[in-house]
Structure formats: C-alpha cells, structure tokens
C-alpha cells in the first residue's frame, strides 16, 4: 500500500471537500465512510455564502442542486416577539441528502478512492498511521485527516476529553411541505431549545431543532414534546399546523457536545465537527467544516512539497490557523446559546436589539467568517 495516500476518515462535508481539494492538487486520497450515499442528516441545511468563492475555485457547481437563496433572518423569543433582519452575507438552502451525494460523486470522479467501511482503530507508530476498519482492511499512511463528525467510535478509541462527559443536547429534523418564504431562515426559541426553519431544494421545508434532554425527558415522545413545549411559541405552532411531514418519521440524534476539542490529536489533523462544533443557532457549522478542509488541504500540500519540513511544524501551523479562524466563533456561539436558553436573559437581549437593531447583523458577523478566498 502506498503510504503517500492521504487517508480521510469520514465522508461528510469536511471529508469530501478535503478529498476534492487534495485531488485538485494531484495528491492521492483514500476516503473511508461507514454509510452509503445519499442519506438524510440532522442539520438545519442553511449554508453561509462564505463558501461560494471556494466552491467556485473547486469547480463545485452547487447551483446545479437548485438551492434556495436566503438573505433574511426572522428571530422570535418564546413569547413570540419577533425581529426581522437582513443577513449580512446571506446563504443558501440545500439538503444534506443532495449536497453530500453531489460531493461524493465529484470526489469519486476526481479519482478519490472510496471505501465504505467503518474505521475501528487508528494507530500511530514510527511516523506512520495504521488505520483498521471493521472488515479488517488495513491501510498505512503518513497523513490521516479526522473528518468523522461530532461524535464517533473513534473519539472513544482516542480517549478524547469531550467524550468522557455526557452531553445534555439532542436534535430532531425532518422535511415538510407547506408554505414558508424561500428567502428566510427562521430561528425560533422555545423553552429548552431553539428551532431553525428554512427551505431547501424542491420546495421542501427543513425544520430542525435542538432541545435540552432535561426538558425533553419529561415528555413521552417527540410528538408530545412538539405539542406541549415547542408549540408554546406561536410561530412554531403556526408552522407545524400548516405543514405536512414528508419523512416516515423525524430523524433524531442525541449526545451533541459543544465542548472544546483539539484540532490535532494523536497526530491526526481534525477537520469539521471533529475539531469543534459551533452551536447550530449560528448557522455556520457547514461553512466551518468546508473552510477547515481547505486549511488542511493547503498545509498537507505544503508538507508534501517539503515547504513544511516536519510533522511538528505541520501540526503547529494547522492548529494556529484553525484557532485563528474558528476559536472566537465557537466562543461567541456558546455565549449566544447561553443567553438564548435563559428566558430572562434572552428577553433582556431582545429588548436591547429592539432599541438598537444594528446590533443583530454585528452579532451575526461575529459567528461567521469572510468569504473563503484561495491563497495558493
Ligand atoms: C441540530 C443541528 C443543526 C445544524 N444546522 C446547521 C445549519 O443550518 N447550518 C450550518 O452551517 N451548520 C449546521 N449544523 C452543523 C453542521 O451540521 C455540521 O457542522 C456539519 O455537518 C459538519 O460536517 P462534518 O463533515 O464535520 O461532519 P458530518 O457531516 O457529520 O460527517 C461525518 C461523517 O463521518 C462518518 N463517520 C463517523 N465515524 C466513522 C467511522 N468510524 N468510520 C467511517 N466513517 C465514519 C459519518 O458517517 C459521517 O458521514 C447543525 C448541526 C446540528 C447538530
């Protein structure tokens, strides 16, 4: 086996984007993804336009997926008080079902070797990784990218800090048909969580909420929780009463952790949620996943061309760049979530923003980056 192939573990947005970028640089890549495509994922499916120049450079024609174009935010508190504002940069709505599959097809066409297996073990000895899958496929490589998402069996194998703690968050998502404006992303607060609503391709409405386990566990199931907690916000009540579910049942994930993670662990460069998950209310996790893939692909390219001389320097540069681009966004996301989830604080914050509406775009900017440009 050629050890010069970069091994990417996980084929979500981060892993697939890194694969496409590395193939553009003619670097051989193996991507290991445990699931098949296409597949629905729990996600708000609103992507910041900051990815567009980078997608253009990678020749990823996202317009082919017929996304919606979103440039307005509607925000409401539990009591239904509402603010409408323009989004400074805007974004687009596309389902993960369509987008991940599109990128998978593109990475395959570009010559990325795909393995559909689950990685069970990563060992680093004598400057070489040995990656072992559930089917006992063994791959040796000089470089491994960790793109295995917010929570994986590999986090346990690596004994990462965040995985030791129970997380109080779960999330539920489904697609619906009904009426909702194409150009708006709604963010609606309820007791114990918040819900994002926006349109994706094919006129579908994506409704995705994050809820605290504490409030959820008191109710029998998600239908009762929706009726008794979420629909206390009258905006959400109106939306749910005027839409029809298009899935057999909503998708649920639990144990979502927003704890700090490290961008490099056991010499693996972590990208996307594997390096850190921003609170979904910021609507920036996907752009960050894509951006971190770019940073990793660039440093790997410099390492392979020996512009970066050692593994220690590679890891140091990647960590610096990751922190520079994302650390403050994650911090702001945690702060905003803390305010939003405390009714008294969120009411005070709402009143301040009503008096000074120019503050809202400023806050949004703090959780987002600038359009991703190409340095090489
Ligand atoms: C409720 C919620 C709403 C959100 N809404 C938005 C939003 O509106 N806008 C936004 O920008 N961001 C949003 N996000 C964040 C966004 O979903 C993530 O940041 C994004 O999916 C990160 O992509 P990723 O590639 O890092 O991870 P993922 O897309 O999760 O991909 C990880 C992949 O790794 C694979 N994998 C895991 N373990 C293994 C293994 N052992 N072997 C092989 N493969 C493995 C998985 O199958 C998966 O395909 C939201 C997040 C949540 C929780």
CA pair distance 213, 216, nearest whole angstrom: 5
Say what percent of the chain tops pLDDT 90: 82
Looking from the CA of residue 48, the nearest atom of ligand 1 is: 11
Alpha carbons within 13 A on the beta-carbon side of 123: 9
Predicted confidence (pLDDT) per residue in 38-97, tens digit = 999 999 999 999 999 999 999 999 999 999 999 999 999 888 889 999 998 999 999 999
What average pLDDT score do residues 355-373 get? 87
| Ligand 1, pocket residues at CB < 6 Å | 9-15, 32-35, 41-47, 118-119, 147-149, 152-154, 171, 196, 208, 210, 256, 272-274, 280, 283-287, 289
103-117, 329-343, 348-362 — most confident range: 103-117
Q: What is the pLDDT of residue 349?
A: 84
Residue 364 has pLDDT above 90, yes or no: no
Nearest one of 349, 341, 352, 315 to 189, comparing CA atoms: 341
> Ligand 1 pocket test: which of 17, 39, 44, 337 has the largest number of ligand atoms within 8 Å of its C-beta?
44
CATH 3.50.50.60 is held by the domain 6-165+257-367: yes
| CA 344 – ligand 1 centroid, Å | 32
Say what percent of the chain tops pLDDT 70: 99
Q: What is the pLDDT of residue 314?
A: 98
Question: Nearest C-alpha to atom 5 of ligand 1 is from which residue?
Answer: 44
pLDDT-derived band of residue 341, with 50, 70 and 90 as boundaries? Answer: confident
Kindly write down the DSSP assignment for every residue of 199-246, as one continuous string.
E-GGGPEEEEEEEEHHHHTTSSSHHHHHHHTGGGSHHHHHHHHTEEE-
Neighbours of 167 (CB within 10 A): 16
Predicted confidence (pLDDT) per residue in 151-181, tens digit = 999 999 999 999 998 888 999 999 999 999 9
What average pLDDT score do residues 339-365 get? 83
Least confident of 38-42, 305-309, 340-344, 362-366: 340-344
What average pLDDT score do residues 351-372 get? 86
What average pLDDT score do residues 109-118 get? 98
What average pLDDT score do residues 93-115 get? 98
Read off the tokens for 23: 């193939």
CA pair distance 156, 143, nearest whole angstrom: 20
Q: What is the pLDDT of residue 343?
A: 77
Least confident of 22-31, 308-317, 353-362: 353-362
CA pair distance 243, 176, nearest whole angstrom: 6
This model's pTM is above 0.85: yes
What average pLDDT score do residues 288-313 get? 97
How far lies 117's CA from each of 4, 55, 101, 303, in Å? Answer: 21, 27, 17, 28
Work out whether the CA dihedral 151, 155, 161, 166 comes out positive or negative: positive
pLDDT-derived band of residue 350, with 50, 70 and 90 as boundaries? Answer: confident
Strands 184-190 and 193-199, by their bridges, are antiparallel
Q: What is the pLDDT of residue 126?
A: 96
CA pair distance 228, 251, nearest whole angstrom: 19
CA pair distance 223, 93, nearest whole angstrom: 26
Indicate the helix (H) or strand (E) that contains 8.
strand 6-9
Read off the tokens for 213: 């386990």
To the nearest whole number, what is the mean pLDDT of the chain? Answer: 94
How far lies 284's CA from each of 225, 238, 280, 308, in Å? Answer: 27, 26, 7, 30
**Interior CA angle at 199 toward 197 and 200, to 5°?**
125
Q: What is the pLDDT of residue 2?
A: 66
Nearest one of 266, 282, 338, 179 to 274, comparing CA atoms: 266
Q: What is the pLDDT of residue 46?
A: 97
- State phi, psi for 93 to the nearest 5 degrees: -115, 120
DSSP state for residue 95 in the 8-state scheme: -
Q: What is the pLDDT of residue 239?
A: 96
Read off the tokens for 217: 């566990």
CA pair distance 183, 68, nearest whole angstrom: 7
pLDDT-derived band of residue 128, with 50, 70 and 90 as boundaries? Answer: very high
Read off the tokens for 103: 């990128």
Residues in the chain: 376
Predicted confidence (pLDDT) per residue in 272-300, tens digit = 999 999 999 888 999 999 999 999 999 99
Q: What is the pLDDT of residue 376?
A: 56
> Ligand 1 pocket test: which of 121, 278, 280 has the largest number of ligand atoms within 8 Å of its C-beta?
280
Q: Is 67 exposed, middle or buried (0-12, 13-18, 19+ CB in 10 A)?
A: buried
Q: What is the pLDDT of residue 354?
A: 80
Indicate the helix (H) or strand (E) that contains 360.
helix 359-367
């Amino acid at each position: 086996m050629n050890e010069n192939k970069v091994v990417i573990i996980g084929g979500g947005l981060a892993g697939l984007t890194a694969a496409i970028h590395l193939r553009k640089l003619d670097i051989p890549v193996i991507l290991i993804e445990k699931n098949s495509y296409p597949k629905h994922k729990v996600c708000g499916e609103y992507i910041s336009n900051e990815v567009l120049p980078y997608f253009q450079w990678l020749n990823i024609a996202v317009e082919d997926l017929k996304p919606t174009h979103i440039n307005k935010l509607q925000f409401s508190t539990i009591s239904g008080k509402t603010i409408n504002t323009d989004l400074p940069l805007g974004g687009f709505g596309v389902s993960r079902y369509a987008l991940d599959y599109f990128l998978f097809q593109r990475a395959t066409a570009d010559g990325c070797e795909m393995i559909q297996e689950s990685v069970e073990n990563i060992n680093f000895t004598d400057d070489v990784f040995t990656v072992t899958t559930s089917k006992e496929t063994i791959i040796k490589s000089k470089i491994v990218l960790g793109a295995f998402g917010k929570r994986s069996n590999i986090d346990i194998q690596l004994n990462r800090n965040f995985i030791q703690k129970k997380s109080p968050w779960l999330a539920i998502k489904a697609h619906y048909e009904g009426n909702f404006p194409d150009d708006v992303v709604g963010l609606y607060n309820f007791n114990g969580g918040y819900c994002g609503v926006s349109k994706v391709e094919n006129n579908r409405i994506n409704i995705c909420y994050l809820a605290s386990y504490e409030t959820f566990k008191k109710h029998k199931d998600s239908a009762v929780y929706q009726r008794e907690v979420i629909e206390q916000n009258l905006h959400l009540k109106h939306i749910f009463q005027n839409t029809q579910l298009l899935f057999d049942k909503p998708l649920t994930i639990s144990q979502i952790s927003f704890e700090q993670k490290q961008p490099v662990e056991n010499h693996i460069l972590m990208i996307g949620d594997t390096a850190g998950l921003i609170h979904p209310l910021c609507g920036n996790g996907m752009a960050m996943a894509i951006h971190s893939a770019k940073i990793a692909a660039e440093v790997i390219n410099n390492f392979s061309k020996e512009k970066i001389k050692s593994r220690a320097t590679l890891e140091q540069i990647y960590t610096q760049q990751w922190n520079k681009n994302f650390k403050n966004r994650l911090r702001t996301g945690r702060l905003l979530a803390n305010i939003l989830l405390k009714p008294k604080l969120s009411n005070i914050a709402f009143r301040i923003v009503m008096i000074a509406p120019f503050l809202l775009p400023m806050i949004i900017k703090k959780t987002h980056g600038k359009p991703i440009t190409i340095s090489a």
